[in-house]
Structure formats: C-alpha cells, structure tokens
C-alpha cells in the first residue's frame, strides 16, 4: 500500500545543502513512487515564530516552491501549498495545544537552542511550534513524515499528541500515528565552519552553508574555506568519528556520490584535504548547479509559482476542512 506523506519546509531564507540532503532529496524519491500521496508544505506560519520581513517572506515562499520544483518534485503528482492559506492549520493547532502538556513541550531541545539564553523574550509561537507541526501532519492523516534528524523529537511529540487525543475522546485511530522517515546516514549536515553546529538558513555567515542557489564560484570558494583539521584524511571510521569537520565533509561527499562512508574513506585515506576538496567541489557543482540554474529560471515566473500554491491550497484545504469538521463533532462544538 502507498504511503501518505506530509512534510514542511520553512521559508526563512535560501534553502541549503542540509535541507536538500536531510529532507528534499527524500521528498523527490517519495514523489516518484507512484503509489504514494504526497503533500509538501511551505510552512510560513512556522517561519513567523521569529521576526520576518514581510517582503522577504513573500520572496522566500516563492523561493521554497521554486526549490521544490527545481529539485524534482512534480506539482501534478504532489500537493504543494503554503500553510497560511489553509486556516485549518491554525485552528487545529489551537485545539491540539489544549491536548499537549506543558511538560512535553518543556523537553523540546529545538526551543532551547533557538530561544538561547533569553527565553523570556522568545515568542510564545516559538515555544508551541511543535504543536502547530503536529496539526500540519495530523490534519492529512499522514502515515510517514520525511524529516531531517533534528525534527525527530518534534515528531515523537506529534505521536504523543495524537495518541492522547485518541485516548481522551475514545476515538480509536481517528488521528493516524505517523512514522518519521529519516535518512539512515548523513541525516544531519553540519556547518562548513563548525562541525558541531547544524548547517542552517539563519546562521549569519553565508560561508557556513552551500545554498541551493549558489554559483559555481561560490561553491569553489566555500569548499576552499571550509574548516578541516591539520591531519591527513582519516583511514578508519573510528578516526573519522573523532574529527567532526572531516566527518561532515566526507558525509556530504558520500551522500552526493552515492557511496558508503567506508568507501569514501578508502578512496581518500591518507591523502591531503586539498585533493579531497577538489573532488568534493566537483560533485557539489554537478549536483547543485543544475538545481540553482532552474531555481533562478522559475523565480522569473512568479505567476506560475503563485498558481501552483493556489491550486495546492485548494486541494489541501478540501482535505483539511473535512478533518476539522470531524474534530468539531468529536469535541462537541
């Protein structure tokens, strides 16, 4: 039987290699399996949990759609829409926030990381972000959610919320309990400047990430400047595990070249980083440049991107409003 897929990406800036290898590559494979029903959402309501410039947000929403298409998602096969256009998401988030427990949310590590030291100044939305994410998924009866490793905890919370709702209202399996789909290897791509920090859109230094809109020269420059260590290339997995920057770059190469980590280690064992970096640059150029060129082309046709979002939001709205109607009946509204 086919899977019901739901996943979202925040329109918070240029999408990067981490988003691609951790999530979007998987979206494309799932989209290509005929038996699956896929919904890919531009989660603009999630984006405003931190400050956004309205004009930039509009551009980033279209940029995210362009990236989905340029990476290979087919809008005829998958529903693509932005979250704010289907009001059921906000409504379900409120209802589910009355099911979720404070203690559960207090354990979420992403809030702690994103709020930083000054928790008091973080938005309430940033705190309840995972409840909105649960609403996104549960409205569509998604069976599988492809995400990067950083979202695993939020998905576990989504499962807890679904189970509690089903138990509290004795509705058996009204909310389906979704499974995470996380790449086994290379599910967490790290910053090019710090092998212990996640590659992220909102990191200030652009040198920390490969954007999917980067040019050939930008890729060459970023890999040249990517942090390594003074030792030659590692020759065993144990050696690799002690060297975060080397591990990240070797992981990126392996993922793009479709090799196992061991195979890449054997290929470059004992060599200089400079030789490895030339090879890494080449696989990045081969993979990213066609996507980058296509994104820029698509962004020239804003009407086309808006039509895709409009069509997607109608289809998603139909599904979500039926689920909300049933939720109202269950709650006694």
The catalytic site residues sit at 114, 198, 201
DSSP letter at 207 equals G
Cβ proximity to ligand AQP, 22 vs 312, nearer residue: 22
Residue least distant from ligand AQP (Cβ): 22
Question: 71-130: which residues touch ligand AQP (CB under 6 A)?
Answer: none
Exposure letters 302-318 (e unless 16+ CB within 10 A, then b) = eeebeebbeebbeebee
Instruction: Give the range of 19-27, 101-109, 172-180, 222-230 binding ligand AQP by CB under 6 A.
Output: 19-27
Contact call for residues 139 and 319 (beta carbons, < 8 A)? yes
- 18 near ligand AQP (CB under 6 A): yes
Instruction: Give the CA radius of gyration of the chain.
Output: 21
Cβ proximity to ligand AQP, 128 vs 166, nearer residue: 128
Q: Which of 61, 199, 212, 250 binds ligand AQP (CB under 6 A)?
A: 199
Contact call for residues 254 and 264 (beta carbons, < 8 A)? yes
Q: Which of 5, 14, 19, 255 binds ligand AQP (CB under 6 A)?
A: 19
Question: 172-191: which residues touch ligand AQP (CB under 6 A)?
Answer: 187-189
Q: Which of 63, 75, 130, 148 binds ligand AQP (CB under 6 A)?
A: 148
> Quick one: 255 exposed, middle or buried, by C-beta within 10 A (0-12, 13-18, 19+)?
buried
SS (H, E, C) 82-138: EHHHCCHHHHHHHHHHCCCCHHHHHCCHHHHHHHCCCHHHCCHHHHHHHHHHHHHHH
Q: How many residues bind ligand AQP (CB under 6 A)?
A: 20
**What minimum distance in Å lies between the beta carbon of 75 and ligand AQP?**
19
**What minimum distance in Å lies between the beta carbon of 84 and ligand AQP?**
15
Contact call for residues 250 and 187 (beta carbons, < 8 A)? no
Cβ proximity to ligand AQP, 42 vs 265, nearer residue: 42
Cβ proximity to ligand AQP, 202 vs 303, nearer residue: 202
- 10 near ligand AQP (CB under 6 A): yes
**What minimum distance in Å lies between the beta carbon of 330 and ligand AQP?**
29
The rounded distance, in Å, linking the Cα atoms of 288 and 303 is 25
CA dihedral 126, 127, 128, 132 (to 10 degrees): 30
Termini Cα distance of the chain: 35
Contact call for residues 151 and 9 (beta carbons, < 8 A)? no
Cβ proximity to ligand AQP, 162 vs 212, nearer residue: 212
- 61 near ligand AQP (CB under 6 A): no
Q: Which residues bind ligand AQP (CB under 6 A)?
A: 8-10, 12, 18-19, 22-23, 147-148, 150-151, 187-189, 198-202
């Amino acid at each position: 039987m086919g899977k019901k897929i739901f996943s979202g990406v925040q329109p918070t800036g240029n999408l990067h290699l981490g988003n691609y290898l951790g999530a979007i590559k998987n979206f494309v494979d799932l989209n290509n399996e005929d038996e699956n029903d896929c919904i890919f959402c531009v989660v603009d309501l999630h984006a405003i949990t931190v400050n956004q410039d309205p004009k930039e947000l509009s551009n980033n929403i279209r940029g995210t759609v362009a990236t989905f298409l340029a990476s290979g998602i087919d809008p005829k096969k998958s529903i693509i829409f932005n979250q704010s256009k289907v009001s059921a998401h906000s409504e379900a988030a409120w209802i589910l926030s009355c099911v979720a427990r404070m203690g559960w949310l207090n354990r979420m590590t992403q809030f702690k990381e994103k709020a930083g030291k000054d928790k008091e100044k973080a938005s309430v939305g940033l705190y309840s972000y995972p409840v909105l994410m649960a609403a996104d998924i549960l409205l569509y009866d998604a069976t599988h959610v492809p995400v990067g490793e950083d979202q695993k905890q939020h998905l576990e919370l989504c499962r807890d919320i679904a189970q509690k709702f089903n138990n509290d209202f004795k509705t058996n399996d009204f909310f389906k309990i979704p499974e995470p789909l996380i790449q086994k290897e290379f599910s967490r791509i790290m910053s090019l400047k710090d092998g212990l920090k996640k590659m992220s859109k909102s990191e200030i230094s652009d040198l920390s990430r490969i954007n999917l809109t980067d040019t050939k020269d930008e890729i060459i420059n970023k890999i040249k400047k990517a942090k390594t260590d003074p030792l030659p290339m590692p020759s065993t997995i144990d050696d690799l595990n002690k060297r975060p920057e080397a591990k990240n770059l070797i992981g990126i190469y392996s993922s793009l070249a479709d090799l196992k980590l061991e195979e890449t280690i054997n290929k470059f064992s004992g060599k200089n980083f400079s030789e490895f970096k030339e090879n890494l640059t080449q696989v990045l150029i081969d993979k990213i440049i066609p996507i980058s060129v296509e994104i820029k082309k698509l962004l020239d046709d804003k009407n086309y991107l808006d039509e895709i979002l409009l069509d997607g939001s109608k289809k998603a709205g139909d599904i979500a409003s039926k689920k909300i109607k049933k939720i109202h009946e269950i709650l006694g509204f």
